[in-house]
Amino acid sequence: MEKNEKKYNIAVVGATGVVGSTFLKVLAEYKMPIKELFLFASHKSAGKVINYEGKDVVVRELTEESFKGLGIEIALFSAGGSVALEYAPKFAAEGILVVDNSSAFRKDPNLPLVVPEVNAFDIRNHGIIANPNCSTIQSVVPLKALDEKYGLKRVVYNSYQAVSGSGMKGIKDLENTKKGEDNAFYPYKIAETCIPEIDSFLESGYTKEEMKMVDETIKMLHKPDLLVSATCIRVPVPNGHGVSIMAELENEFELDEVRELFRNYPGLKLVDDPFNHIYPTSTMANGNDLIYVGRIRKDLSCKNGILFYTVGDNIRKGAASNAVQIAKYVIDHKML
């Protein structure tokens, strides 16, 4: 592909948060062609100075007028659902491409929900693009690989999600309960137990987090008849989500074929030598954008069923990096 030498005005909304600061790190790592960088946050963070690639950038307060007239072309949002609902449409109305990390727009049938390795064809050069839930992102990539080769009938998820998925409150709760202090954020001491509750419970008995995995998988794979269920568990791990996946395929498969498929699929890293204790771990995924996949075996409970385990850095590939990769796709394909 011909290199695009043009530079772009890029904004980060929620720049001082955990994901927002990771946006900046990933933008630099990916050497994004930035003409001018604009940083926005709440009133309490306004005026803070952040150094990006040797240049000090002052954080601006996000207001009705603060982003207008600046020539912003792409905005990366990580400021929560309520801020996204209020401001993302206003940015889009100014002709700015918005990639939003919250759950605000994921279920909107008129807006794309994207993991580039899975459905880059849904990326567009205007309006709002939703970034999926962290645990869904690392799951749909290997599922897409399987669907392309064997067809996909049913998926069962069990996720083991790190405290960084809750932001600083979750991280601090793990640190404090490790010291023997009382829990202040989670309903139990996260240092002492796994907690099968992420987000609020629905009348069905599922949590909102579990239904995010269900709905987002179906939407991104463009398979409205796909059967999906999920159980999401918070675990005492600082960073890096794990997801155990059972997939029932439409056609027969051989394990060696699946390993070769995963080995060569974009975004995946095969780590599957369990007899030598080599399999995906949270520490392995920490700090990079690969999705690690291993513990591959046939499901004994159904025909054409396969079991495997994935791990990904939920702050990077599960949030910031996936959003930057969407922006990078738009730039690399000269869509702006």
- CA–CA dist 270, 263 (Å, integer): 5
Place of tokens 């011909």: 2
Active site residue 134: yes
Phi-psi label, residue 71: left if phi above 0, alpha if psi -120 to 50, beta otherwise: left
Rounded-to-integer distance, Cα 130 and Cα 187, Å = 30
CA dist., res. 101 & res. 170, Å (int): 18
Find out whether 319 and 78 touch, Cβ atoms under 8 Å: yes
Please tell me the distance from the alpha carbon of residue 167 to that of residue 170, in angstroms, as a whole number: 6
Among 126, 241, 302, 333, which one carries the catalytic annotation?
Answer: 241
134, 222, 232, 277: the catalytic one is 134
Residues 6+ apart with CB under 8 A from 179: none
| Residue 222 annotated to the active site | no
DSSP 198-212: -SPBPTTS-BHHHHH
- What CA–CA distance (Å, rounded) separates 134 from 259? 24
b/e map of 224-248 (b: 16 or more CB within 10 Å)? Answer: eebebebbbebbbbebbbbbbbbbb
Output the DSSP codes for 127-174.
SEEEPPPHHHHHHHHHHHHHHHHH-EEEEEEEEEE-GGGG-HHHHHHH
Cβ proximity of 205 and 276 under 8 Å = no
- Find out whether 51 and 57 touch, Cβ atoms under 8 Å: yes
Q: Which helix (H) or strand (E) holds 238?
A: none
Catalytic (active-site) positions: 134, 241
